[in-house]
Amino acid sequence: MTTPTLRLTDASVTTATVDALVVGTVCGEDGPQLLPGNEEVNAAFDGALIDVLKVLGAKGKADEVIKVPTRRAIGAPLLIATGLGKVNGQPSGEQVRRAAGAASRALSGTSRAITTLSRVDLVAAAEGAALGCYLFTAYRSHNGDAPLGRMDLSVPSANDRVAQRDLAKAVATAEAVATARDLVNTPPNDLYPASFADRAVSLAEAAGLHTEVLDEKDLLREGYGGILGVGGGSSRPPRLVRLHHAPATPKAKVALVGKGITFDTGGISIKPAAKMEEMTMDMAGAAAVIVTAVLASQLQLPVEVIATVPMAENMPSATAYRPGDVLTMYGGTTVEVINTDAEGRLVLADALVRAAQDNPDYLIDTATLTGAQIVALGKRTSGIMGTPDFRDRVTVISQQVGEGGWAMPLPEHLRSDLDSKLADIANVAEHRWGGMLAAGVFLSEFVRDGIPWVHLDIAGPAYNTGSPWGYTGKGGTGVPVRTLAAVLADIAERG
């Protein structure tokens, strides 16, 4: 995990002894414009900073980074103008976060910088700066430039307690996201069910959480047929991890469930070879749930959080489960296996039933569940399904924190497509249309009536296979940690 040191400062940004000064620009009607709060900087350039930026081709668009040698106009030898794009009134937190991330990525190899983006939105500027610096270098024998070492965040008063509290929260959140990214980026020869469980327990116990791990013998004794079926083809047996944040006077109890398929070949219904290496990320939901439970403890949220995390490796072998098998899930429901590559919903079904036994006030699961999510919503937009009121509440929060989830329905007519000729339900529908929604309908069968429930399909947003953008590099993104954390904070405030 690589995050810079973040520090509040109320010193002059034009005289600060730093390597670079970061300012924000936006798309104006006549070209780039400086964000408000940069008057001092513009004056140091004799009011001509925008003219300089125009000569260098600046537009103020999102992800734009323009480097300007300052020639001693200010204390820093380099000025970074980072674009926010078009702004209607006040910039959004996500615009600030993304601009801060783009600037941090551009400052790789720099020891210290200062930014005025924090004058617009301190939390977003801090999160973006920290996450933009993220690098995963554990498996490189020769590293390139080191990430930015320190970012000073300009605020009216560095001693303001609200600002200090906001910065501490932003740092904790960014570190949680970075930890989730680390887990997702760890290759499957090192991250398999037993080692994943060990890492989860280590993180949780360091934060004071109660932990429980069920191994394959425990799973067999207690009847977790979905987890055992999916994990049966691997030489590395499955696990179920339970983490418990138990504050003294909780305002509500929230159950979190995350899919932890440490590698997915598709099993007997094997995937094509092309891009299969990306299936190392099929445990991103589990990573998000684990670090969110830890973050709840670190932030001392007055919400009881119980994470139930199934972990398995889906492999083809003589002991693998087959298309045509019938599995008896935890709780007794039988499932006909039509496709062994629809394994995530099987391990989640077991975990959802177990999670409901804790009688939570809310239940949230998240998973890299369906390729249909990417077809429907693309690589950056999660599909959010579940109980309508709670679904819409989570969707609004997801959009507010910049993770951009989108509410999707669970049409009742899709349930008949999951009818089985042998069992209570089949694990896939008879046709491929609406695959994301059908998977959500399947999961709903394992959620006890009366529990507000949300399912987040993060198949695309959890892993960036394209070029870096904003505060998001290649590989694991940490989605939906910030959404889950914000939902818990909202429940702590509103119930």
Which residue numbers are catalytic? 271, 345
Angstrom distance (rounded) from CA 11 to CA 161: 17
Annotate 412-468 with DSSP letters as a single string: GGGGGGG--SSSSEESS-SS-TTHHHHHHHHHHTTSPTTS-EEEEE-TTTTEE-S--
* Structure token digits, residue 366: 């998240």
Angstrom distance (rounded) from CA 435 to CA 291: 28
Residue entry with tokens 């951009």: 404
Angstrom distance (rounded) from CA 66 to CA 57: 8
In the DSSP assignment, the letter for residue 472 is B
272-276's contacts with Cβ under 8 Å and 24+ in sequence apart are 275/465
Extended strands (E) in 236-361: 239-245, 253-258, 260-264, 304-314, 326-328, 334-336
Nearest Cα residue to 398 out of 469, 457, 347, 328? 457
The answer for residues whose C-beta is within 8 angstroms of residue 449's C-beta and 6 or more apart is: none
Angstrom distance (rounded) from CA 102 to CA 54: 19
Angstrom distance (rounded) from CA 169 to CA 363: 24
Nearest Cα residue to 454 out of 402, 405, 414? 405
Residue entry with tokens 């009881």: 304
* Structure token digits, residue 231: 């994990």
Helix ranges restricted to H, 21-111: 39-44, 49-55, 93-106
* Structure token digits, residue 428: 């896939």
